Structure 1
Amino acid sequence: MTLDPLPLAQALIRCRSVTPADDGALAVLEAALAPLGFACHRLRFGAVENLFAIRGQGAPHLMFAGHTDVVPAGDAGWSVDPFGGEVRDGRLMGRGATDMKGGVAAWVAAVATVLDRRPGLPGMLSLLITGDEEGPAVDGTVKVLGWLAAQDLVPDCCVVGEPTSKVALGDTIKVGRRGSLNAAITVHGTQGHSAYPQRADNPVHRLVRALAALTAEPLDQGTAFFEPSTLQVTSVDVGNPATNVIPPSATARLNIRFNDRHTEASLTALLRDVLAREAPRHTLEVSCSGESFLTRPGPFVAALERAVQAECGLAPKLDTGGGTSDARFIARHCPVAELGAVGATMHQVDESTPVAELRALARLYARVIEEVQG
């Protein structure tokens, strides 16, 4: 059966699925997937509804990962109902049109196209759809992947439908992402009168020296696939209303976006080393939202490149830039890459995608399935 991605994308947009709400989005998908032979499993963790759908048997097992949750529409500025799914001047308008209800709909349409052309398609196709990608990402993809491991259903490879294209559809495939580490540093000193500094220990001076040491030199010069890692101080707080008092403590926060030359453990060790030298009396809190990952060129990436070249007529750039995505969790289990629509309007007022591009994305995804499944 053939399937136009536009009505499905409109139906999904009309679900007000702001994280972690579902508002019927997964039921819309189930209704589209069941006639294609998918067995659908609703997986609820905490307040988050997730969907895993699978058809076929044997290898290879290609999974599509995406999300139906969206960021809030905002209070004003939209020229249309952000949850209306309206088409205006050839563009599908609404929250999630780009990120990424349009991409989810395009993949389902692609599956329908492929099965119509090749009813005996080998291997397994599956979809992991979460309602927690735009939120804490605690009860979504991570938990479903654990369930898949317990069921012996871990895929051989995975396409994530994030809107990775920059100018033209297919111009960018993300084969990795930088890691992200947040740190809170509190330097402890001894409070005193600023006229008698010898009787105090100024934590601000120590904190400034530590931050200067951390930012004096680049963390690295980049790698073959990654740009240089960056360390940005995002806040320095003392909370001292007096001009003549040396405060008892001073706090700074920083964020490190790091490539595959570093890990959470190595960066934490670096911070502790500098603080031990410049500010021995300190506390350090570190949280890492994801390690860096890289899917190196090989059969899977080559299949994606062939699909883009065949359908879009261009050679895609293999990229690792941007923020984090759920691909960071999937990379622990199998090769993963991100390929999707042009993301120029994602998270913006009047988020939209051209209807022609939505249909072109469905054709590209159909080619991807055929290239990977053989």
Structure 2
Amino acid sequence: MTDAVSITRDLVRCPSVTPADAGALGVLEDLLKAAGFTTHRVTFSEAGYPDVDNLYARIGSEGPHITFAGHTDVVPPGDESAWSVGAFSGEVRDGVLYGRGAVDMKGGIACSVAAVLEHLAANDGKPRSDGKGSISFLITGDEEDVSINGTIKLLQWAAARGEKFDHCVLGEPSNVETLGDTIKVGRRGSQSGTLHVEGLQGHVAYPHRASNPVPDISRLIVAISDEPLDHGSAQFQASNLEFTSVDVGNTANNVIPGQARARFNIRYNDNHTQASLRELVETRLAKACGNRIRAHIVWEPSNSNVFVTKPGPFTDLAVSAIEEVTGRKPELSTSGGTSDARFISSYCPVIEFGLVGQTMHQVDERVPVADLEKLTKVYRGILARYFA
């Protein structure tokens, strides 16, 4: 069966908890091969990380080239006894399909595949009636964990083969309350670090022989995070720096610790680059330390840079297709966390539009069958407009 509900069910029945594939990519590969796609199963490796299977499939050899991206890996189901149905059953009850990945994001992938198959069937097996145009799929099994051997390497592999993408639709669950309310057109960047403050360990009864880093790190936390990083931009909310833990590694109540550490994360907008952001925080730290406090920041490597797909013909045709099917004009949003769109944005403009994300990662993750059918129609509308 090539409808979205059947494809979602078949994918959900593959227990593809990262990095396991469990047959999920095979389900898609079989469907796409039968429709005339050239497919490639690509496995990437890196020392210290599990090998990951990925799938690239393309039909057509000319532009314009639209690619649908997504991931078939899922988070663990948690306590399976707490589920109303089997976590990997794909069971439909009262018009709702249950299972881990139904929303995030096997359902979105299923809708894009079903839409593409319907589009090709209506065009004699071609992306466009005149024979031009290309459609492809970039599917990874490494999004829910470290994202080392997935989309970022699949894109590099495709680029090395001469593949060029004009636009991308990523089927992540972008909608907040109801299908059609939100298109994600960008994401803030993410940068983490650890603030280290040096002291001098000693006995609490003799504080003059020690240097307590706890009051110092408290002052520095306030100095670094109290003043806003910015006030937002045209398409992004304000950047924010949040301290997430403070630790001195001390179990004794009569010992002044020798060091204190505080971890933090920054979600930043297009007012900053990664380099300028680090410089801003380091400048605040130096000013607050003066000549007395000894402190430094250890920055964590980050590939979560800020990006935005600005409004234009591509976003316009997506909005039009969504409004036609759902009756809603979606908001173009840059809110939320990170996704593989941060990698894709270096290769082509990308938007995220998928299902409603309210139950993703939860027990009894589920999607109304009606939403799967509507999302398929939206993708059909995008394809029709794209190749018009």
Taking structure 1 as the reference length, what is the TM-score of the superposition?
0.96
Aligned to 1:310: 324
Q: Per-residue CA shift, 1:57-90, capped at 9, x if unaligned?
A: 2111100000100000012310100111111111
Cα distance in 2 for residues equivalent to 1:198 and 1:238:
19
Aligned to 1:138: 148
1:134 aligned partner, one-letter code:
E
Instruction: Please tell me whether the aligned partners of residues 223 and 285 of structure 2 are also in contact (alpha carbons under 8 angstroms).
Output: no
Instruction: Please tell me whether the aligned partners of residues 227 and 259 of structure 1 are also in contact (alpha carbons under 8 angstroms).
Output: yes
Cα distance in 1 for residues equivalent to 2:322 and 2:186:
18
Q: Per-residue CA shift, 1:147-167, capped at 9, x if unaligned?
A: 111111121110000011122
Q: Which one of the candidate residues 112, 115, 121 is aligned to 1:110?
A: 115
Aligned to 1:286: 299
Cα distance in 1 for residues equivalent to 2:387 and 2:272:
34
Q: What's the CA shift for 1:138?
A: 0.7
Cα distance in 1 for residues equivalent to 2:354 and 2:64:
22
Aligned to 1:33: 32
Q: Which one of the candidate residues 48, 52, 55 is aligned to 1:48?
A: 52
Q: Does 1:345 align with 2:344?
A: no
| Identical columns (%) | 52
Q: What's the CA shift for 1:224?
A: 1.6
Aligned to 1:367: 381
Larger mean Cα displacement after TM superposition, 275-284 or 106-115: 275-284
1:282 aligned partner, one-letter code:
A
Cα distance in 1 for residues equivalent to 2:223 and 2:352:
36
Aligned partner of residue 68 in structure 2, secondary structure: strand
Q: Which one of the candidate residues 173, 188, 209 is aligned to 1:163?
A: 173
Q: Per-residue CA shift, 1:232-286, capped at 9, x if unaligned?
A: 1100111223344321110000111111112221222123223323345334221
Q: What's the CA shift for 1:192?
A: 2.8
Q: Which one of the candidate residues 271, 282, 288 is aligned to 2:281?
A: 271
The count of corresponding residues between Structure 1 and Structure 2 is 373
Aligned partner of residue 57 in structure 1, secondary structure: coil
Aligned partner of residue 290 in structure 1, secondary structure: coil
Aligned to 2:244: 234
Cα distance in 2 for residues equivalent to 1:153 and 1:134:
25
Q: Does 1:68 align with 2:78?
A: no
Cα distance in 1 for residues equivalent to 2:376 and 2:194:
44
Q: Per-residue CA shift, 1:156-202, capped at 9, x if unaligned?
A: 11000001112221211000011111111111122233444343332
Q: What's the CA shift for 1:370?
A: 1.5
Q: Which one of the candidate residues 232, 251, 254 is aligned to 1:222?
A: 232
Instruction: Please tell me whether the aligned partners of residues 69 and 138 of structure 2 are also in contact (alpha carbons under 8 angstroms).
Output: yes
Q: Which one of the candidate residues 56, 61, 86 is aligned to 1:81?
A: 86
Larger mean Cα displacement after TM superposition, 63-72 or 217-226: 217-226
Aligned to 1:334: 348
Runs of 4 or more above 6 Å deviation:
none
Q: Per-residue CA shift, 1:200-242, capped at 9, x if unaligned?
A: 3322222111111112112111112111111111001112233
Instruction: Please tell me whether the aligned partners of residues 160 and 338 of structure 1 are also in contact (alpha carbons under 8 angstroms).
Output: yes
2:210 aligned partner, one-letter code:
A
Q: Which one of the candidate residues 62, 70, 95 is aligned to 2:100?
A: 95
Q: Per-residue CA shift, 1:286-328, capped at 9, x if unaligned?
A: 1224011111011111111111122222211000111100000
Instruction: Please tell me whether the aligned partners of residues 2 and 31 of structure 2 are also in contact (alpha carbons under 8 angstroms).
Output: no
2:159 aligned partner, one-letter code:
A
Instruction: Please tell me whether the aligned partners of residues 55 and 124 of structure 1 are also in contact (alpha carbons under 8 angstroms).
Output: yes
Cα distance in 1 for residues equivalent to 2:237 and 2:14:
38
Superposition CA RMSD, Å: 1.5
Aligned to 1:173: 183
2:333 aligned partner, one-letter code:
D
Q: Per-residue CA shift, 1:62-119, capped at 9, x if unaligned?
A: 0000010000001231010011111111111101111111111111110111112223
Cα distance in 1 for residues equivalent to 2:188 and 2:53:
28
Q: Which one of the candidate residues 351, 354, 372 is aligned to 1:358?
A: 372
Instruction: Please tell me whether the aligned partners of residues 145 and 154 of structure 1 are also in contact (alpha carbons under 8 angstroms).
Output: no
Instruction: Please tell me whether the aligned partners of residues 62 and 373 of structure 1 are also in contact (alpha carbons under 8 angstroms).
Output: no
Q: Per-residue CA shift, 1:322-364, capped at 9, x if unaligned?
A: 1100000001111001001111111111111111110111111
Cα distance in 1 for residues equivalent to 2:86 and 2:136:
32
Aligned partner of residue 7 in structure 1, secondary structure: helix
Cα distance in 2 for residues equivalent to 1:372 and 1:90:
31
Q: Does 1:249 align with 2:241?
A: no
Aligned partner of residue 270 in structure 2, secondary structure: coil
Cα distance in 1 for residues equivalent to 2:4 and 2:341:
24
1:261 aligned partner, one-letter code:
N
Larger mean Cα displacement after TM superposition, 139-148 or 118-127: 118-127
Aligned to 1:202: 212
Taking structure 2 as the reference length, what is the TM-score of the superposition?
0.93
2:60 aligned partner, one-letter code:
G
